[in-house]
Amino acid sequence: MGTAPPSILNAAQVRERCGVTAIVLRGHFVGVVAESREAAHGAAALLVIDWTVGGAATSAAPESALVSRRTVARRGDAAAALSEATLRIGRTYAWPEDAECRGIVVAEVRDMAASIWLATGMPARLRGDLAVLLGMPLECIELLAHAFVGATDTLATYHAAADAALLSQSAGRPVQVELSRAATRLADDPPPRLVTTIDGGLDETGVLNAYAMVIEGVSRAPAPLALLLSGARSLPMDENPSAHADELLDAPLLPYDVEHLEVTRVSNPSGFSAADPSVADFAHVFAVESHCDEAAAAMACDPVTWRLQQPIDARGAALIRRTSKHAAWIARPASVSAPTTPGGIRSGRGFAYARSVDGRLGSTERSWAAWVAEVAVDTRNGDVTVTRVVVGHDAEHPALASDRASSARIAAPQRHPQAVEVITRLTTEQRFDAPARIPIASPLIEVLGELEIARSGVPERMAAATFDAAPMPLFGGGAAMLPAAAAIANAIFDATGIRLREPPFSADRVRRALEESRAPRAARERNWLAKALAGIAGVLALIVPWRAPIAPVAPPDPGYFSAAAIERGRLVSAAGDCAVCHTLPNGARYAGGLDIETPFGTIVSTNITPDVATGIGGWSYAAFERALRSGIHRDGTHLYPAFPYTAYAKVTDGDLLALYAYLMSQPAVRATPRRTRLAFPFNVRPLLAAWNLMFHRSGVFTPDPAQSSGWNRGAYLVDGLGHCGGCHSPRNAFGAERGGRDYLAGGSVDGWDAPALNGIATSPVAWTREALYDYLRTGYSATHGAAAGPMAAVVHELGALPDDDLRAIATYLTASNRVVAASATVSSAMRERQSVTLPTLDALGARIYGGACAVCHEPDQGPPTYGIKVALTSISTLHARTPTNLLLVLLQGVSNPPTAQLGYMPGFHDTLDDAQLAHLANYLRARFAPEKPPWRDVGASAAALRSRVPAP
Amino acid sequence: MRTPPPIELTVNGDRHTLRVAHDTPLLYVLRNDLEFNGPKFGCGLGQCGACAVLIGDRAVRSCMIPVGAALHQPVTTLEGLGSAARPGFVQQAFIDEQAAQCGYCLSGMIIATHALLIRNATPTEREIREELRFNLCRCGTHVEILNAVRRAARVLRAAGVPEGTP
């Protein structure tokens, strides 16, 4: 951490936002306390923070010092034994972080009393850290158990507790903090993966006698980020009560008593937190037991038989026998897999075993678990269905020991919620807020050795802790689940011959692995464009004309430009939509910072306010004109053509000068948006010189004397200032707009489909000049629907333009359409469409429509409501080639209509899942656009779009 | 915290000056800031109708409308239609027909009935059903509610709108 704290440049403005209670700045810790989560997130996004005041923040210690390599267990001479092994199997396994896990904490800190409500945690350590953070004695800190819905993650809860405590102390009122696992990392850190490399040596009898294991990616005991950032002293490592967590994976966990053993741990600061030992346990067992399965397969031996031949303790061996017997496991070599059914389903079975020490209670009690999992893999789409699971569990627990009979009891087959959850997480790309899709068709989960034991015998240590109401930790429940991942992975291997060495085993990954195994030599798809560009980079360096920087000038004095010029510039700016890209939602106008997604990476819009240091205050008109006409920054570097200089080149000198006058007269905002960083070779800006040679045509717009003045004005606005083609024309592989027949033929922007404007309009009723004018003026056309998405912002900007300009645009675009504008056609076409016999409609979609949509959208029914009753019969969105725009509107709703009179629509992001959206979309398509073919894979599109759309 | 600029909202004939964000749902302002608890929070998605209020003479689902969109026309809630001592004629009709089970939907039903009768004092059976079609009642009081609407329409035809009713 650097010593100079950051400063917030716009704290006063953000504090004025409604809902904002306090902005907290403690050292490098910046937080917003607000009346609602939405208000807090909104305000936090607006903060402009200068992190570099007084010198860059630098790490106190070089990275390498923080990476440590340590041998945590050693027996015999693993290296020597490995070199003499008959068969050596070296494999690497990975375990990803579940970034969606989250923790919720409420803290109330007043004077010298802190009350913290949280769901789980490591109470002893947390109290110590909070005491340091808040500068209070330990006894003033009270931890209270509370079951928050969805709070599942220990580490996220831990960080959230520290954040909440610090915010509450600063704001002087109770604060709730909700953190996802991903948010507990520093922004630059990649999501951690725990990578385990195992080198195992087997002797001539197939017995594992040498084992070298390297575990990478565990971070040493972390301090809460709030503790580090606020500058409160962190505890020295050896005083830290959780230092023992780092030792958790020591030798006892390896379930086989191998003669020569060496376990090495490589820790790094961005790795998995050792504060979350259960994750490490799962990863460890997954690696060890997958490796065993690979060893057994290499020996052409049955995996259960093979394990029983290994040096293993008697109690574990007994559990393995009992579990496999109950599962009716019949020994056969692992390499023989079951035949594929005609439907493409392959079934398989897998075994895994774990021996663990319940470290969390500080005890040395051991626990054994064995899993038999049976799966069915659909080879067509990669779906993995876990059809049956048998879990055996045994533990050295007083309650269990006194009741050995019960551990031998075989429980009736049941749905075991914990097992269901574990299996679901392993076989799906889990999303926290999506309802869990249970991939278990008819789950038959049989648990041997009842887990209720854990509930009956609460250990005294737990009862004595402040946290006596805390849920039970790993023992019982957790330990029994450890072999789950390996058992399922081994079963997938048994079914398909595919070895998955990193969970989750989602349909997507299984399908990809299946495809790769079918075509092992198929050339991998490469980005040919990237290669081609990289290849010619050297050549271009020679021929590119060097563009000189233009020296900065003092900004023109206020009053230098006439009011008329500034007013004309305002209209030019509105027609050019400058603010749409150069303004963040709710941010300072023209201060930039908006992410613009392109196929080449994310480009961040710049600050075009007249601030000298961070904006264009130092730009002379010559520099400004060069940027707009040629795409060259004042300093001589090339701008990316996401900035539509290709269109602005057509703008007249008068308009450009007026725009300069207008922008230079706006309030200067000091704000430095993030730098655009594209991947190689797109980050080599001089390459754009070649791009410009190929695709950029300079030259101001020249009117066509054969056309009317309205037509010419429209063409100027559409092709020049309005740069309509930026979104509505398709782009080629180099990101250049296509012309000719593809001019305005439809493109895409921010995930939305921008419909074609060139006469191949997909709406059932062709656009008339009047309809288009209505749409541009009000954001709504009765015959085509309402503007939404990025177009809503455009209509909002166009609001500044006079009617004549909008009529001109409508004239030009409808003239290019070569379509007769006749209102009679409109109504007759609509009547005709309503009389179309309905095809078979999606029944579930119809019910969803009836409940969620009909009140506002059902034609001729229901009472008049606020806003416009958008008739679905003719809206273009339902006639489009893809369901993209429909799904985006359904997910996000319309919270910012171009005009308030249009009304609002709620988003269904949180109420309809992907399948329901698909049913609804299919129903709408079939009912309102019956002559169009049904959309395909709507559910998949919904899932993809959902991840792009923030929850409301 | 600085409060947002003041807005003026007319509810049940009284002018209120409020400092709330323009994008706050109207329902929240009515219930939380002005303590008009007639309109209910049901689904929050404009589907059930429990939150309906009149903006001008239209029944509007107030959970979906930002307060900023309701500044130019008067807002009327259930409280604006009458009181326990002096119920409005629609309210009286609902009492007379005992058209309530749990009562959660009733504010919306009564508002919707008002909106209908303002527009159309002699609604047909079909028009009544059409008007209330998207107001949900979970208890199954539909028969009584329809009776109440018919009764309210009869009262209106017989006597004209009673004095003081919006």
Single out the residue of A928, A847, A916 nearest to residue A887, CA to CA: A916
Q: Per mean pLDDT, which range of A28-42, A445-459, A548-562, A735-749 is the poorest?
A: A445-459
Of B46, B69, B116, the CB nearest to A863: B116
The Cα–Cα gap between A308 and A306 comes to 5
| Cβ contact A920:A848 at 8 Å | yes
Say yes or no for a CB contact (<8 Å) between A851 and B47. Answer: yes
The Cα–Cα gap between A802 and A814 comes to 19
Of A62-76, A802-816, B82-96, where does the model show the most confidence? B82-96
Of A18, A863, A900, the CB nearest to B69: A900
| Cβ contact A472:A463 at 8 Å | no
Residue A731's pLDDT band (boundaries 50, 70, 90)?
A: confident
Say yes or no for a CB contact (<8 Å) between A851 and B65. Answer: no
Query: Which residues in B lie closer than 8 A to residue A908 (C-beta atoms)?
Result: 45
pLDDT at B8: 92
Q: Per mean pLDDT, which range of A14-18, A271-275, A364-368, A700-704 is the poorest?
A: A271-275
Q: In what order do the strands lie in the sheet with A113-118?
A: A141-145, A113-118, A102-110, A175-180
Residue in chain B closest to A901 (alpha carbons) equals B69
In what helix (H) or strand (E) does residue A456 lie, and over which residues does it extend? helix A452-456
Query: Which residues in B lie closer than 8 A to residue A911 (C-beta atoms)?
Result: 45
pLDDT at B98: 94
Residue in chain A closest to B56 (alpha carbons) equals A866
A404: pLDDT strictly greater than 70? no
Of B1, B68, B131, the CB nearest to A20: B1
Say yes or no for a CB contact (<8 Å) between A855 and B49. Answer: yes
- Asked if omega into B39 is within 30° of 0 (cis), the reply is no
Q: Tell me the H-state helices in A358-443.
A: 398-401, 404-408, 417-427
Of A852, A865, A911, the CB nearest to B60: A865
DSSP secondary structure letter of residue A718: I
Q: Per mean pLDDT, which range of A175-179, A216-220, A476-480 is the poorest?
A: A476-480
Backbone dihedral angles phi then psi of residue A785, each to the nearest 5 degrees:
110, -170
pLDDT at A58: 42
The Cα–Cα gap between A498 and A510 comes to 8
How many CB pairs below 8 Å do chains A and B form together? 67
Which has the higher per-residue pLDDT, A19 or B103?
Answer: B103
The Cα–Cα gap between B86 and B149 comes to 18
Taking residues A901-926, report their average pLDDT.
Answer: 89
Angle between helix axes A914-928 and A884-892 (nearest 10 degrees) is 120
Q: Tokens at residue B118, please?
A: 């303002």
Nearest-CA distance B20 → chain A (Å): 7
pLDDT at B59: 92
Residue whose tokens read 């490399």: A197
Query: Which residues in A lie closer than 8 A to residue B21 (C-beta atoms)?
Result: 18-19
Residue in chain B closest to A22 (alpha carbons) equals B1
Taking residues A719-733, report their average pLDDT.
Answer: 84
Say yes or no for a CB contact (<8 Å) between B20 and A904. Answer: no
Task: Compute CA distances A67 → A93, A204, A238, A277, A589, whole Å.
Answer: 20, 38, 17, 19, 45
Residue A820's pLDDT band (boundaries 50, 70, 90)?
A: very low
Phi-psi region of B44 (alpha: psi -120 to 50; beta: other; left: phi over 0): left
Single out the residue of A159, A171, A270 nearest to residue A224, CA to CA: A159
Nearest-CA distance B143 → chain A (Å): 18
B127 touches A at CB < 8 Å: no
Q: Which amino acid is residue A868, in one-letter code?
A: I
Residue whose tokens read 């008009």: B36
B87 touches A at CB < 8 Å: no
Residue in chain A closest to B112 (alpha carbons) equals A863
Q: Name A355's bridge partners.
A: A368
End-to-end CA, chain B: 38
Query: Which residues in B lie closer than 8 A to residue A906 (C-beta atoms)?
Result: 44-46, 64
Chain B 33-62, CB below 8 Å of chain A: which residues?
44-47, 49, 55, 58-61
Please, what is the Cα angle at A267 between A266 and A268, to 5 degrees?
125
Which has the higher per-residue pLDDT, A244 or B93?
Answer: B93
Which residues does A62 contact at the CB level (< 8 Å), separation at least 6?
A: none
- The total of other beta-carbon atoms located within 10 Å of residue A511's CB is 17
Say yes or no for a CB contact (<8 Å) between B134 and A852. Answer: no
Of B4, B65, B133, the CB nearest to A18: B4
Strands A208-219 and A260-267, bridge-based pairing? parallel
Half-sphere exposure of residue B30, counting CA atoms within 13 Å on the CB side? 34
Nearest-CA distance B82 → chain A (Å): 23
| This prediction's pTM | 0.50
- Asked if omega into A906 is within 30° of 0 (cis), the reply is no
Q: Name A351's bridge partners.
A: A372
Whether the complex's predicted ipTM is more than 0.90 is answered with no
Nearest-CA distance B116 → chain A (Å): 8
The Cα–Cα gap between A905 and A909 comes to 12
The Cα–Cα gap between B31 and B37 comes to 5
- The total of other beta-carbon atoms located within 10 Å of residue B5's CB is 10
Single out the residue of A97, A145, A108, A149 nearest to residue A130, CA to CA: A108
Residue A253's pLDDT band (boundaries 50, 70, 90)?
A: low
Query: Which residues in B lie closer than 8 A to residue A900 (C-beta atoms)?
Result: 68-69
Half-sphere exposure of residue B68, counting CA atoms within 13 Å on the CB side? 16
pLDDT at B34: 94
Residue B151's pLDDT band (boundaries 50, 70, 90)?
A: very high
Query: Which residues in A lie closer than 8 A to residue B1 (C-beta atoms)?
Result: 15, 18-22
A57: pLDDT strictly greater than 90? no
Task: Compute CA distances B117 → A334, A698, B13, B151, B166, whole Å.
Answer: 77, 65, 20, 12, 11
- Computed over every residue of chain A, the mean pLDDT equals 74
A18, A36, A910, best to mutate vs chain B, most B CBs in 10 Å: A18
A533: pLDDT strictly greater than 80? no
* pLDDT 10s digits, A841-855: 677 888 899 888 888
E strand residue ranges, A806-940:
none
Of B1, B21, B58, the CB nearest to A865: B58
Which has the higher per-residue pLDDT, A560 or A467?
Answer: A560
Residue A657's pLDDT band (boundaries 50, 70, 90)?
A: confident
Q: Per mean pLDDT, which range of A71-80, A333-342, A774-783, A810-819 is the poorest?
A: A333-342
Q: Per mean pLDDT, which range of A162-166, B7-11, B36-40 is the poorest?
A: A162-166
The Cα–Cα gap between A518 and A495 comes to 15
Backbone dihedral angles phi then psi of residue A786, each to the nearest 5 degrees:
-105, 155
pLDDT at B30: 96
A608: pLDDT strictly greater than 50? yes
* pLDDT 10s digits, B97-122: 999 999 999 999 999 999 999 989 89
B5 touches A at CB < 8 Å: no
Task: Compute CA distances A835 → A472, A858, B59, B65, whole Å.
Answer: 64, 15, 30, 34
